[in-house]
């Protein structure tokens, strides 16, 4: 049995946390490949090492003195090394990094050193081999992740290796410079390693016991999700359920490897299992509820729209030309609405309006802002009758006006648009009807 284990920043923020991680890894012989993040926050007002590195490098890039900030980063590692009682010096590494900062090696290089150094500390602490991610994770010239090249190199490098530490978050470009994934990207590295070694399971250790049915900032103590499918997770992550990086599921999903989200501070909790499919009956009709604020609806009206060939294409062409991707597009016989991210739409607003007038000659265009979208997701919705009915009666009881409804053809989710001011009340009412009332 092979497990790939990824530990997030808060799991590695201090020597104390490192010790918990060490205990977890040693508890099971199968935990052979370890992917660490950079040290995260030790307390809520603390700064993540990644952010310290960005800030420090920004000074260096402007030619300013960055000694003080650099020393603070050194101290973070020193505190961990001393706390673990390791016989390890990172002085040489820090000298190289400083020289590269002065030589303006780039922001990605700077940020990646958080994981790089933590990987060295981790490999020293565990007695596992250290493998630099720059040698096994690759990006193309245009900055896209190069899955094929990476998989081949990773397989070759890890072949015959019993135990190794591979730092998360970064890889290298064809010109040998360092490039990182987007923030939180160590989750992706863990997934890539798991796929390459054909792991039985990818354990992603963080500071919460998995996904919750809803956002704890809105629902008090929401229940955890024990099992979720990749498809469900994708819908929920897209709508803001943020325990795992959105792109982390792709490599393992292709390889049919489940992900187990676990809590470093409470390792006995089962956490959430993310699987391709399951015969396990979910406890509730819905698996989760997530949502986001900050959408705008562009309502376009034109008599006889439905018989005008190519109308939809010409509408969307305007959005495409302005670099705007749309979220949803509910339509009526003579109306079509396009839902977009408000922050992306605002700067392009007038170009879009004039483009629409030119392209489709509408009778009227009306713009509505401050819309929130809520996704009610669940694999069990397909086999349960009346789900939509229950959602809408719950919303009606909570006096929430529904502005838009969209049900995906897979019957896995129902998306509801409400005014931002109704967002919290809407989520609470849906949680109540499907979870509280069903307990």
Interface map 139-178 toward ligand ASP (x if CB under 6 A)? -----------------------------xx---------
- Cβ pair 235, 294 in contact under 8 A: no
Enumerate residues 354-373 that contact ligand ASP by CB under 6 A: none
- Cβ pair 210, 262 in contact under 8 A: yes
User: Rounded to a whole number, what is the largest CA-CA distance in the chain?
Assistant: 78
**Smallest gap, in angstroms, from Cβ of residue 187 to ligand ASP?**
6
Distance CA 215, CA 221 (A): 9
Q: Which of 24, 35, 38, 219 binds ligand ASP (CB under 6 A)?
A: 38
* DSSP letters spanning 144-181: -B-HHHHHHHHHHHHTT-S-EE--SSEEE-TTS-EEE-
- Cβ pair 170, 115 in contact under 8 A: yes
Choose one: 184-192, 225-233, 281-289, 372-380; the region binding ligand ASP (CB under 6 A).
184-192
- Cβ pair 427, 374 in contact under 8 A: yes
Distance CA 364, CA 353 (A): 10
Q: Which of 11, 14, 186, 237 binds ligand ASP (CB under 6 A)?
A: 186
Q: Which of 10, 11, 37, 429 binds ligand ASP (CB under 6 A)?
A: 37
- Strand-pairing partners, residue 414, are 376, 407
Choose one: 74-82, 182-190, 277-285, 393-401; the region binding ligand ASP (CB under 6 A).
182-190
* DSSP letters spanning 346-380: GGGHHHHHHHHHHHH--SEEEEEEEEEEEEEE-GG
Nearer to ligand ASP, 7 or 128 (CB): 7
Q: Which of 19, 26, 104, 183 binds ligand ASP (CB under 6 A)?
A: 183
If one counts every other C-beta atom within 10 angstroms of the C-beta of residue 351, the result is 13
Nearer to ligand ASP, 51 or 301 (CB): 51
At 418, is the secondary structure helix, strand, or coil?
strand
**Smallest gap, in angstroms, from Cβ of residue 143 to ligand ASP?**
17
271 contributes a contact to ligand ASP by CB under 6 A: no
Q: Which of 10, 11, 17, 50 binds ligand ASP (CB under 6 A)?
A: 50
185 contributes a contact to ligand ASP by CB under 6 A: yes
Distance CA 155, CA 79 (A): 35
Nearer to ligand ASP, 37 or 429 (CB): 37
Nearer to ligand ASP, 35 or 400 (CB): 35
- Cβ pair 376, 431 in contact under 8 A: no
118 contributes a contact to ligand ASP by CB under 6 A: no
Interface map 88-117 toward ligand ASP (x if CB under 6 A)? --------------------------x---
- Cβ pair 53, 110 in contact under 8 A: yes
Could you tell me the CA-to-CA distances from 47 to 53, 62, 356 in Å, in that order?
A: 10, 22, 46
**Smallest gap, in angstroms, from Cβ of residue 44 to ligand ASP?**
15
**Smallest gap, in angstroms, from Cβ of residue 37 to ligand ASP?**
3
48 contributes a contact to ligand ASP by CB under 6 A: yes
Of residues 109, 197, 205, 214, the one with CA closest to residue 155: 197
**Smallest gap, in angstroms, from Cβ of residue 146 to ligand ASP?**
19
Give the phi and the psi of residue 336 in degrees, each rounded to 5: -145, 135
Instruction: State how beta strands 259-263 and 227-229 pair.
Output: unpaired
434 contributes a contact to ligand ASP by CB under 6 A: no
Choose one: 90-98, 179-187, 279-287, 399-407; the region binding ligand ASP (CB under 6 A).
179-187
36 contributes a contact to ligand ASP by CB under 6 A: no
Nearer to ligand ASP, 244 or 374 (CB): 244
Nearer to ligand ASP, 189 or 285 (CB): 189
184 contributes a contact to ligand ASP by CB under 6 A: yes
Count of residues engaged in binding ligand ASP, rule: CB under 6 A: 14
Q: Which of 3, 9, 105, 196 binds ligand ASP (CB under 6 A)?
A: 9
At 395, is the secondary structure helix, strand, or coil?
helix
**Smallest gap, in angstroms, from Cβ of residue 234 to ligand ASP?**
19
Report the chain's C-alpha Rg in angstroms: 24
Nearer to ligand ASP, 106 or 114 (CB): 114
Q: In what order do the strands lie in the sheet with 288-301?
A: 335-341, 288-301, 364-377, 413-419, 402-407
E-state strands within 258-362: 259-263, 272-275, 288-301, 335-341
Q: Which residues bind ligand ASP (CB under 6 A)?
A: 8-9, 37-38, 48, 50, 114, 168-169, 183-187
């Amino acid at each position: 049995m092979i497990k790939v284990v990824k530990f997030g920043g808060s799991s590695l923020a201090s020597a104390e946390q490192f010790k918990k991680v060490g205990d977890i890894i040693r508890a099971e012989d199968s935990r052979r490949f370890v992917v660490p993040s950079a040290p995260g926050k030790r307390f809520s007002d603390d700064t993540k090492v990644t952010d310290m590195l960005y800030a420090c490098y920004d000074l260096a890039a402007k030619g300013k003195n960055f000694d003080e900030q650099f020393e603070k980063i050194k101290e973070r590692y020193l505190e961990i090394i001393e706390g673990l009682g390791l016989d390890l010096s990172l002085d040489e590494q820090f000298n190289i990094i400083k020289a590269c900062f002065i030589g303006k090696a780039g922001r990605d290089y700077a940020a990646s050193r958080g994981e790089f150094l933590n990987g060295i500390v981790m490999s020293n602490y565990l007695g596992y081999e250290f493998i630099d991610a720059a040698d096994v994770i690759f990006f193309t010239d245009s900055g896209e992740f190069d899955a094929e090249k990476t998989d081949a190199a990773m397989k070759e490098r890890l072949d015959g290796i019993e135990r190794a530490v591979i730092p998360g978050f970064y890889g290298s470009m064809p010109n040998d410079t360092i490039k990182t994934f987007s923030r939180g990207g160590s989750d992706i590295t863990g997934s890539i390693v798991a796929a390459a070694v054909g792991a039985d399971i990818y354990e992603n250790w963080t500071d919460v016991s998995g996904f919750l049915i809803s956002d704890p900032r809105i629902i008090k103590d929401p229940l955890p999700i024990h099992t979720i499918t990749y498809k469900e997770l994708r819908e929920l992550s897209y709508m803001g359920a943020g325990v795992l990086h959105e792109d982390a599921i792709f490599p393992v999903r292709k390889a049919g490897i489940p992900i187990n989200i676990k809590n470093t501070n409470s390792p006995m909790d089962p956490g959430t299992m993310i699987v391709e499919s399951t015969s396990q009956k979910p406890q509730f009709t819905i698996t989760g509820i997530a949502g986001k604020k900050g959408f705008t609806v562009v309502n376009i009206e034109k008599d006889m729209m439905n018989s005008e060939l190519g109308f939809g294409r010409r509408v969307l062409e305007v959005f495409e030309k302005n670099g705007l991707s749309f979220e949803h597009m509910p339509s009526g016989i003579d109306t079509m609405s396009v839902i977009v991210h408000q922050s992306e739409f605002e700067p392009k607003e007038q170009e879009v309006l004039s483009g629409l007038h030119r392209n489709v000659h509408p009778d009227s265009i009306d713009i509505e802002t401050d819309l929130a979208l809520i996704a009610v997701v669940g694999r069990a919705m397909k086999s349960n009758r009346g789900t939509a009915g229950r959602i809408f009666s719950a919303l009606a009881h909570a006096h929430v006006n529904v502005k838009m409804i969209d049900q995906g053809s897979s019957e896995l989710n129902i998306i509801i648009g409400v005014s931002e001011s109704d967002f919290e009340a809407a989520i609470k009412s849906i949680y109540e009807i499907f979870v509280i009332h069903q307990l």
